Structure formats: C-alpha cells, structure tokens
Structure 1
C-alpha cells in the first residue's frame, strides 16, 4: 500500500483505527465516522452486526464465526468456543477444569502449565494456544473491517473485562499481534460501554452511571462519571468467571439429570448430544427473557431417545438464584468502593447479552428503586462502539476523549510481622503518585529491602510479588531514626515505577515494573478481591495481632538499647541496668514462646511491662 495516511480509492482520507469487542460468545467491530460524528458497527459477510466467537476445523478447512457455528452440531469436537475463558490462564486452574467438563473439544496441559486446545484438522492432530484461537477471531474482525473500508487496517483498540489480570491482558495483546494488528491500547469493556453511553445523541451534562456488563463468560461492574468526551472511572469490581455460559450450564445440568433419570443412561458421555442440548438450553434462556415458559424439544438426542421438557421462567430463575444474587452483591460492593450511595446514581447501563435476563433487571430496579434501567445503548454493540471512539482518539482522528481509569488492586510494601502496608489503594485513579515513609528495624542498619506487592490480603504471603530491590548507603543509626521515603508512580498505561530514598543521606534506588510476566494465576485479581471479602474478619484479626506483637517487640528492643547506652555512659547504676535488662530478657523469652498468642495477650504483656515491671527512671531514658 502506498502511503500509510491514505486508503486505496479513498483519496487522501486518513487510514482509520478500529475498535474490537473480543467477546466470549460474540465479537463485534466498529469504526468512527467523522462525517456522521458517530461510530458505525461494521456488519460481517452475512449481514450480521455480531460474529460468533467460534473457530472450527474440518478435514478440508478452518471456519470462523457464523460458518463455524452452523456446523457445530455435526463437528462438536473440532469446534472451539469460549477461548476467552482460557486465555492467560494455567491448565491447573480450578476454573479451567470446571469448564472442560462442559466442552466437547479437548483441552490438554501444555508447556509451563498452559492450556492447549487439541483438534483434528485435515486428518492431523493440531494443538492451538488460546491466544491463537483469539487471534483467528481478531483476524476475522480485521478482515470484516477491511472489506468495508477497502484498505488495510493495522491499528486497533481491543476490549477486555475490567478484572482481566495482566497475564490475560498481555495474552490478548499477543493475540492482536498474531492477527497482524497494532494494538494501540487495551481498555476495559465497561469503560468502553460508558464511552458509548456518553456519545449517544440524547446525552447532556454530567452523570454518575453504573455499567452492568454481563456477557457470555465474564461479569464486570464499573461506577463512572460520564460527560461527552470525558470518562472518569470511580471504581471497578466483577467476576472473571461468571456469565451467560454459567446460566446455560445450570439449565444443561438440569436437563441432563432429567434425561438420565427418565432413560436410566448417562448422556453426558456423548459430546454431540451435549452440544445439541446446550444449544437448545441457550435458545430457551433467550426465549425466557420475553416469555413465561418455553419447551426444550430434541428428537433422538441420545441412543435414539427423544427429549422434551417444559421450562418456566420461574424454574430458570430458581436454578440461577445464587448467581443472580451474586451479581447484585458485586454491584453493591462497587458502589461502596466508589464512596457513593444508590441515590447518587443517575443511570444503570446494561451491557452484554445476559443483561437482558428479566430477573436481573428486576433485581437492579429493586436495588436502585428505579422504574426502568437504561436502554440508550445496544447491549451487544456498546463495547465495540466505545472501543472505536477510543481508537479514533488515539489515532488523532476528529474526536476528543479524556479517559481516567483506576488501578484494580492495592499496591504496597512489606512491613514487620509479614504484613503489607498499602501505598496505593485499589480503585485509585491513574496516573498517580503516592508516597509512604518507613524506617530501619534494628540499630546500625545500612540497607533496606523494598518488596512491591499487589493484593488485598493482610499477609505478604497471600499477595503477589511484583518486584523487589535493595536501598543501601543508609548511615548507621539507632533503629527507628532513619527516614526512608518509598514512592510509587503509575502511568496512564499502568506502568509502575517504585523508588526508595533515605532522606538523611540522599541515597536512592528505583525500578520500573511493567505489566509483563504471568504475575497472577488462577482466579487472581477477582479471587483476591473475593478472598479479601470472605476472609476480612480473619485478616483484621491478623493485622491487629501483628500490630500488637510489633509494638511489644519494638518496646523491648528500644528499651534494651537505651538502657545499654545509659549504662555505658554511667547515667544509671550497673545493678539497676542489669535488673531492667533481665526483665526485658524475660519479656523477650515470653514473646519467643508465645508467637501465636492473641492480640489482647500481646497488648496486656506490653501494658504490664510498661507500667508495672519497668522502674520509673526508665521513662526518662
């Protein structure tokens, strides 16, 4: 192509960037059209505005999108879907094994514990990483846009769930590279939906909105302040492993049990039968958003047995009641994290196909006391629309957008007692710079080790280590005297720079921690938050216990140091000093023998030591 700033047959018009919603169940692509002052959803070759996130392998070809979905009933073991649920994960993750039992295709353990998808293609066994499957879908989106724009497209913004961890975001970006795309930025799906909301024609002023994004495989909630051309994220929350597929699975299990009970067989052994039944369960779920009941009816489902069952909306809601309530609880937590109340929310924006479920809309209306929830954006297209706006802004097209995001997890350093001291709390707007001050733990300490951690738990071992470095050159002094400033800087791209400086000597050290490397595994970001909520009470006990033990330790150590120094200077009698040191040694022995004592025991021991066992003169040391 001649000249990167012009397209074939389009004169000197700027080559556009596209926005891609890489969904678990469906993909969507959009492009900003300056002459219409809006983003346009690009239809695929079938005239559909969304494309199934499926890739199929046959004896002769590879099929992507609608073509793959159309043949899944006859080729289930070689038709891959839900790749988004595997990307950036480890094979050993429990959620991967939970999903595998519902998939007709094969997933095996690859190198470094990566999940690998195994299919038969052209009569050969082929292995594909989830990134490769995702890259095929992205390539399809690229082809769809190029067919419409009539020139090569290179630049794109790709969306991911707000609670995707760094490994998953990096893997998504790698998939874009494999597809031949320059991924200008990865942005969060609910943020993209908020951009779409802020750019619709009827929008005026400034509003606080909750984006309720429930797709096929992931659930995100964001609280945002929205103006036309300006989006500020206040808080994010969600579950990386909750979506429409899970509702389908509940109905699938229900139907399998019905079938097995009736015919005294186990139909779950048949991948083809499960695939046919899953498709009908998904259809029934969609029908129940507009109907009170529907029928799942399949001829010759398994071993020539027909299957028919009537499913009411009430039954579907009963099967998924706990999942629906979990969604609402996550909404409540996100609003709390944003330091807002329900009456401060102007709109609830529904995104993702599963947000159409009647019961969820009813629960949202009840929670917010509103008669209706927002229907100003298309749930299936809003994310791609917002991604296209962001892509145009980054591509210097005729659109203005200011976007302020937040860091989803707390960042901190290690302190005494294996506890974490938070420097940057989660949901802090980025870019940001935060500082905290620390000191030495023992006399004449000339260096300190600074570990940078991510997570919400009280103990260091339960959080994720991002990096560490040593600061040396601290002048010798009594413990607690040096003042070490630790500074965290986070850029708009999420790049973290950590530094430490001894304010007395000026000695300093700095490292840059990028969003690289498989920092997190298993449930990771979402599980850290979930675990923090679940174990909040235990964590508070641990924190209180560590603080009490730390106070006792410091008192004993500091008092021993002061008494020893006073003894050398002949400020106190040797016999008196020896008595005090003996008392302190006994307290130190008690501390060593009672490491697992409760906080109140450490507190009582400190009070007893301070006010009853220490001579009065020690208070003047």
Structure 2
C-alpha cells in the first residue's frame, strides 16, 4: 500500500497568495504574515495604531455590526447588544457555562439542554461561530486593506485544551468569514515557533508556555521532538487575567480615596477608573510609582504596593504551573525553556515570579501580545511550501465525518490533519426503543452531506431498547500511516460494535479536491445558514416531543392555565417549524421554555420531597 502524499493546499499555491496567521483571542485578536522582503513574521497594523483588535462585537438598533475598538465603546453604555469573550462560548452547551453565566452581560439562552449555546440580541439569535466569524471577517478586511491583496487562506490558533467541538467551531467561524482554514494550531505551539523553538528538526526539548491574557490564564507543557509538538499537559483558570489585575488596583483606590457608593453606580465613572488602573499597571512596568487624576480625585500607587496586591493572583497561576508539571509527570528542573505569552506578562514582577518558580530566565524578547500570531504566520509559511526546513507529514486532503440528524455533516477529522490520526465522538438515538443506527461516512467541506462525497456506510444493530438519548454510541475514526481509514462504532452500555475499512486516496484527483475546497468557501454563508435552520428545527421538534411526554405523564400536577398556555405555545412553535426562519423558531423555543420551566421545577421539587419522606425508592 503506498503512502498518500498530497500537496498541502491541493494544487500549487501561487507565490503572490498570502497565507496569514490569526490569533483569535478572548480579549484581543490579531493577524500576522511573513514579510515578503525580510522573510520575518510581522503583525499587521496601520501606521502607529495597535496590531490588536478587541474581540468585541456591537449590534446597533438596525442590526449593523461594529467590531473592535468601535464596539468596545459600547461595553458599558449598551451591554445587552455588545458581545465580548465569545471565545469562551465556542463549542459549549449552556450546561457547560451556567456556573459562570453572570460573567456575561448579554443574554445567553438557557434551554437547559446539551445543545450549543446561542446569544440573543433583540429578536435575533447568534451562535458563537457567527460571532467569532464577525471578528475574523474584520481581521481579514483589515489585513487586505494593509497588504492590498485578497486574503483567503489562514492558520488560526486555539488554546491547547480546546476539544474537538471547539476546534471545529473555530474552523467553521473561519469558513463563514470567507477563509479557507488550512490548519488549527495550538497557541503554545505557535508561541514556541515564534521563538524558533522546534524549527530545528534535531532539537529535543521540553518547554513551558505561560500565557496570561486579558481574561484567561493557561500553562502548557510541550515536548518537542523531530519538529513534532506534543502537549504533555495543560492547566489554568479561564476566569483569571489582566482584567483582574486592573480590578485589584481599582479596589485599592476605592479603599484609599473613600470613593462613595453613588460614584460606583455611575457607569462612565467605573469605566474611567478602570482605564486609569490599566494606565497605572502599564506605567508601573517601567516606573516605581504612578500618579494620576480623575476629576477631583488623586489616584496614586507605588510599585511595591502594586506587587503586594497582585501576589495572590500570581500565586494562583504558579499553583496551576505546579499542577501542569505534576500531570506531565515531570519536575521543574526538566523544563528546558519558558515562553511568556499575553500582555499581562509584561509586568516585571510576573516575569520575576515565573523565573524564580522554574529556576531559569524566561523567554520574553518577542512582544507577548503578538507572539502567538507571529508563530501562526510561521506555520502558514510552512503550509505555503516556502519553509523547507520544517518537516510536513502526510495530511488528509479533505475533512472526514459522518451524517447526523437532518442530513448534516459532522466532521471528526478535519482537512490538513496529520496522518496517522484518530478522533472519536459520542452520539445517541433519536427515538425511544431505537435498536439500530446507520453510520454513513463522508468526505468534504460542505455542511450538508448531499454536497459531499459518500465513502461508505454500515448499520450498528442490536442496540438494547432504551429511551431516546440514553444509548451512548462511540464513533471512532482511525487513519493509519498508509492512509487507510478505519471507522468503528460501539454502543458503550451493551458493548456491541461494528467496523468498516475505507482504502486511501478515496478516488479523487487534485482537481476534484481543489473544486470541493473552492465550493466550500463560495457556499460557506448559505451552508451555515442552512445548518443553523436544520439545527433549530431539530431542536424545536425534540422540545415538542419532550414537552408532550412530560405533560402526558404529569397532567394532574398542572393547573388548567398552565395546560392551556403550554398547548398554545406548542402550537405556535409547531407553526414556526413550517417556516424557514431560524430566529423565529428560536424565539418560539425560548417562549415554550419560559412557560414550562416554572412548573417543571415545581413538579421536580415535589417528587424530591416525596422521595425524601421515604414514600418512594
């Protein structure tokens, strides 16, 4: 069996084509590319402006969209229509984020299910994929304006701990923004590349990447061998970052200056004092004290007080470092290099603390805001075939996945993934007592399987009769070094399993692959709109079925008013399902949830009370 060797972007890339590296961040995002003359990575910015674009999206009353600095102005004046930290929602269900729901000042739909979260702005509903695509679109436009060349291909970075769903969501956001996403790269890997670590194929190193951003902290331990980066462990705190440092300074000033409660309810004052705190933090990185004024207030702080304030936060990050090293089954002395990422690592006290913890100097020569994007640009250059030093393993030319409810393509192994590779995901049944599941394997980049290429199918039969949603079917995709794809499905409760083997090359020429890729970018907008509509309809149908079952079972616990209101709202949702308007369907789903939630909780509480009294086992 011969090994598949496929040109990375299928078909030779024209040299004038620019592939950019994008750091899609929680707080800020930016774009970098390899400068055609210096051959060095540079972050794109206009004149003296910052390379950073705040990851904030604002919708005005006419639903016009603003992104970046312009949108950031509305965080306090129009919080319900200003979306920040959309990256935290990527690939998440409401159940994943409900503990921290109060962190978000905009409306996240609580449908109490495992379906992916949606954000409501007025009467429209947006997925985190759509929100992230607005940021990526702004970055694309900005880059095209600066380099005066169309940009259609990108490498996008994600945290090392992102799971498969979050990575796929990032890929989808890129596609929706009109970008062909050649590779999703781990942020710590990109940061290492920016320092030249891992560029030498002979090199063998274990490194720590300490990343303290605006709103998140993570530490990754990587092993680099023969140009291959392996994530040994990750740890961190997704609600700890530079913003917390600013807040500590604000609290210090509140105590020192006797600021009254009334002032703290004034949004403009709160924003102004927070900006002063940020200014103080930056000043104290190069001076021993900060003195400023805000209206009639004098605000000052010296460096030693500032360091005392933030020490508990830094200790928290160092505890995460200890955990990551322990999980990697290493000692601090085993770490060969420490790379600093994120604007907050500019604070000298943080650098000193990390250096003391690891017992060696840190790598901080590259701008910590830009280091991830610069590394992504280096990776993009490799994919463009310009950097012959770095080894590129064989890759999958097109995405591989299976058909899910509504004829949708669920990608398990994304295009441009290295070979060999494996990925698995769990699925469940749609109907009560369903005894079989058809697994159909497809190849392609489109959202509907009808637009992709069918590779094979098999039936997993003999699933024990259980209520819908209870069986757990694990589907595993495994590509070996010869490019043979093995697909295995196993029902975890009963242990029954079935396997199919699909031979390599999948019968496609480079021209076929090129056409499929082109179609996927051309139709991205329509595809994602159709996917969103199908998912909304599926969710609506499942909710109607679940509500009907619940009412039949608990009819005598409902008041006549509750029964009548529920029936009317169900009818309204049923009608919405016949129309091709996903926002209307989501609106009706939300209305049905609002009506049923109070009595569902009441009935549940009554059942628990009875069980506690010992009347039920």
TM over 0.5: same fold? yes
**Inter-partner Cα distance in structure 1 for 2:92 and 2:422:** 31
User: 1:271: Cα distance to partner?
Assistant: 2.7
**Inter-partner Cα distance in structure 1 for 2:490 and 2:101:** 42
* Aligned position for 1:462: none
* TM-score normalised by structure 2 residue count: 0.57
**Inter-partner Cα distance in structure 1 for 2:157 and 2:20:** 11
Superposed, 1:193-212 pairs within 5 Å as 193-198=191-196, 205-212=203-210
Deviations 1:260-318 (A, max 9, x none): xx35424443332222222222222222223333245321xxxxxx4333233343334
* Aligned position for 1:32: 34
**Alignment counterpart, residue 218 of structure 1, candidates 189, 205, 216:** 216
**Inter-partner Cα distance in structure 2 for 1:213 and 1:18:** 22
1:163/1:240 contact within 8 Å kept: no
**Alignment counterpart, residue 313 of structure 2, candidates 323, 329, 333:** 323
Deviations 1:33-80 (A, max 9, x none): 5664432322246543332333345578644334445x4599564654
* Aligned position for 1:238: 236
**Inter-partner Cα distance in structure 1 for 2:259 and 2:33:** 52
**Alignment counterpart, residue 161 of structure 1, candidates 159, 162, 169:** 159
Task: Confirm whether residue 133 of structure 1 aligns to residue 131 of structure 2.
Answer: yes
Task: Confirm whether residue 65 of structure 1 aligns to residue 71 of structure 2.
Answer: no
> 3-state SS of the aligned residue for 1:320?
helix
Q: CA RMSD in A?
A: 4.6
* Aligned position for 1:285: 281
* Aligned position for 1:275: 271
* TM-score normalised by structure 1 residue count: 0.57
Deviations 1:381-400 (A, max 9, x none): 11111112223333444445
Larger Rg: 1
**Inter-partner Cα distance in structure 2 for 1:189 and 1:285:** 25
**Inter-partner Cα distance in structure 2 for 1:129 and 1:253:** 35
> 3-state SS of the aligned residue for 1:309?
strand
Task: Confirm whether residue 42 of structure 1 aligns to residue 36 of structure 2.
Answer: no
Task: Give the direction of change, closer, same or farther, for the CA distance of 1:45–1:489 in structure 2 (3 Å limit).
Answer: same
**Inter-partner Cα distance in structure 2 for 1:158 and 1:245:** 24
**Alignment counterpart, residue 372 of structure 2, candidates 383, 386, 389:** 383
**Where do 5+ consecutive residues of structure 1 fail to align?**
101-105, 120-124, 300-305, 405-428, 435-446, 448-468, 474-485, 502-506, 518-621
Task: Give the direction of change, closer, same or farther, for the CA distance of 1:73–1:344 in structure 2 (3 Å limit).
Answer: closer
Task: Give the direction of change, closer, same or farther, for the CA distance of 1:6–1:308 in structure 2 (3 Å limit).
Answer: farther
Task: Give the direction of change, closer, same or farther, for the CA distance of 1:496–1:23 in structure 2 (3 Å limit).
Answer: farther
* Aligned position for 1:413: none
Task: Give the direction of change, closer, same or farther, for the CA distance of 1:201–1:497 in structure 2 (3 Å limit).
Answer: closer
> 3-state SS of the aligned residue for 2:106?
strand
User: 1:191: Cα distance to partner?
Assistant: 1.4
**Inter-partner Cα distance in structure 1 for 2:124 and 2:265:** 23
**Inter-partner Cα distance in structure 2 for 1:330 and 1:243:** 13
1:192/1:387 contact within 8 Å kept: yes
* Aligned position for 2:108: 109
Deviations 1:462-517 (A, max 9, x none): xxxxxxx98979xxxxxxxxxxxx99766699x9965669xxxxx952499xxx99
Task: Give the direction of change, closer, same or farther, for the CA distance of 1:174–1:331 in structure 2 (3 Å limit).
Answer: same
* Aligned position for 1:82: 85
* Aligned position for 2:100: 96
* Aligned position for 2:21: 19
Task: Give the direction of change, closer, same or farther, for the CA distance of 1:98–1:472 in structure 2 (3 Å limit).
Answer: closer
Deviations 1:310-337 (A, max 9, x none): 2333433344333211211221222233
User: 1:136: Cα distance to partner?
Assistant: 1.9
> 3-state SS of the aligned residue for 2:379?
helix
For these two proteins, the number of residue pairs brought into alignment is 418
**Inter-partner Cα distance in structure 2 for 1:171 and 1:315:** 43
